[in-house]
Amino acid sequence: MKLTRTEVLLIRHGETLWHKLGKLQGNFDIDLSSDGMIQAEYLAQKLDGKFDFIYSSPMKCAKKLQK
């Protein structure tokens, strides 16, 4: 029997507008800040094409990273 290796990578979303203001976010659907968008774009370039599947939160801040 051949064993296959599965890698799982957990990624937190980038900075949101509320993080910048020092607010707790909880389950509010807040967009990424401009810095958060830069963080997401940087990570997307580093990880481009390296996934078979992506599971994401439905929140805006997570969806932007998924794209």
DSSP sequence for 12-57: ----BHHHHHT---TT----B-HHHHHHHHHHHHHHTT--S-----
pLDDT, mean over the chain:
82
Is residue 28, in this structure, part of any structural domain at all? Answer: yes
Is residue 34, in this structure, part of any structural domain at all? Answer: yes
Residue-range definition of the domain harbouring residue 29: 12-51
The number of distinct structural domains making up the chain is 1
pLDDT of residue 42: 92
Please state the rounded mean pLDDT for residues 36-53: 86
Is residue 59, in this structure, part of any structural domain at all? Answer: no
**Band of residue 55 on the pLDDT scale cut at 50, 70, 90:** confident
Q: Is residue 62 a contact partner of residue 13, using CB atoms and an 8 Å limit?
A: yes
35 vs 47: which has the higher pLDDT: 35
pTM (2 decimals)?
A: 0.69
For residues 42 and 65, give the distance between their C-alpha atoms in angstroms, rounded to a whole number. Answer: 10
Is residue 29, in this structure, part of any structural domain at all? Answer: yes
